[in-house]
Amino acid sequence: MLKLLWLTLLFFSHLTLFARSDVEAINLSLQSLQSDESLLDTSALDNTLDRYRGTIKPLYHRYTQTTIEFEKIKSKFEAEDIPVFFALIPYSESKFNPTIRGYGTAGLWQFGKQSARNFGLTVKKGNDERLNPSRSTDAAIRYIKYLKKEFGSWYLADFAYAMGEGTLKRLIQKNGSKKISVLLNDPHFPSGTKAHFAKTLLLDAKIHYTKVDEDNNESK
């Protein structure tokens, strides 16, 4: 009993990003992704979140600058019964910049060329629909729904979105488990996917599950 109390206090002391019940807010986000594990079940997730929590302030600031655009995206996800967590991916992937380009990727959702084409986008010189916020969001919804069907849960769909389907399938097969606690502990779990998941999870917890009155107090 004392050990459990100590562990609970330890987790709460580490996660100070939110004004009220940090662990509760994060757990609600995890539940929305169909995880049967809470933050207290996995030290690997706690450590990952702790590593990236410093990035949330600028991402949240970007969110406050783009709320009108975000609400349009969020409404599309809600209409498809997809957790609003996924509507926040553009902040962790592109800092919500619809014209940004990466190494072979582009737009809010940082689609690669082939993935974009696979899910209905035109990608050619003079017409790259990855840079079209509305069209690329529709493609992202199709892709995420496909990944959910392929892997069976929303959090695995997000992992696959970030690391690729083949990489995730190999990790699951290697570890014989789909649990977050097991997969995150694998040394071959991509660091980029950890960053993607941590940033999106923390931002989702802050925006959608933190009490409004205390959230406002923290921003002062």
Domain count, the chain: 1
The CATH number assigned to the domain holding 167 equals 1.10.530.10
Per residue in 133-181, pLDDT (tens digit) is: 999 999 999 999 999 999 999 999 999 999 999 999 999 999 999 999 9
Integer angstrom CA distances of residue 108 from 20, 34, 70, 96, 150: 30, 25, 11, 6, 23
Q: Is residue 181 part of a domain?
A: yes
**What's the pTM value of the predicted model, to 2 decimals?**
0.86
- 164 contacts 135 by C-beta, under 8 angstroms: no
Q: Is residue 209 part of a domain?
A: yes
Structure tokens at 73: 């995206």
pLDDT at 134: 97
Q: Is residue 18 part of a domain?
A: no
Q: Is residue 5 part of a domain?
A: no
Q: Is residue 12 part of a domain?
A: no
Q: Which residues contact 107 (CB under 8 A, 6 or more apart)?
A: 94, 98, 99, 100, 128, 130, 131, 132, 133, 136
Domain that residue 132 falls in: 29-219
Q: Is residue 6 part of a domain?
A: no
Neighbours of 1 (CB within 10 A): 5
pLDDT at 212: 56
Return the axis-axis angle of helices 56-65 and 67-79, rounded to nearest 10°.
Answer: 90
- 164 contacts 171 by C-beta, under 8 angstroms: no
As a whole number of angstroms, the distance between CA 12 and CA 149 comes to 34
Q: Is residue 93 part of a domain?
A: yes
As a whole number of angstroms, the distance between CA 153 and CA 148 comes to 6
Q: Is residue 19 part of a domain?
A: no
Q: Which residues contact 197 (CB under 8 A, 6 or more apart)?
A: 48, 155, 158, 159, 162
As a whole number of angstroms, the distance between CA 177 and CA 174 comes to 8
Low-confidence ranges of the chain (pLDDT < 70): 1-20, 212-220
